[in-house]
Amino acid sequence: MRNLSVRQRADLALAGGGTTSVWAWCEEGGAAYCVRGAELIRLGQGGEQRLLADLSVECVLPPSSTCVGLCPVPDLSSVLLAMSSGQLLQVATEDCGQVEEVGCVQAGIAAIDISPDLELITLVTGDLKVITMTRDYLPAQEV
């Protein structure tokens, strides 16, 4: 780990205050995405902030659901959100932030990640099973 060095660092404050524990950087889009409460926010390099979606207004979430992870998918111009309630949401980053539920896991979702080539999505469910699926949301393997 001694060969690692910080190439870029930026501190961005969210308008309206608050903190976030779920965020992701999209190298191709040059932006960071974060979730504050039920809001998905895009943070640009110049410090501009844009609300992509308010999930509480979209009526897609149960009140107790929280975001456990997000993955930008730049070639689809979208962000995948994994919710503790088990919902997998795709939110468009270009237009008005259209929200589409692309999957649901009955046991809930504990974590999500996407492969570097953006072809495989891996979910860890609430009962600690690992689901690997294609970018078309078709299950490839469940362990």
* pTM higher than 0.85: no
**Tell me, what amino acid is at 134?**
T
**CA distances to 6, 30, 37 from 43, in Å:** 20, 9, 16
C-alpha angle 55/56/57, rounded to 5°?
A: 90
Q: What is the pLDDT of residues 87-139, one digit of tens each?
A: 999 999 887 778 999 999 999 999 999 998 999 999 999 999 999 999 888 98
Q: Are 91 and 99 in contact (CB under 8 A)?
A: yes
CA dihedral over 68, 129, 77, 117, signed as positive or negative: positive
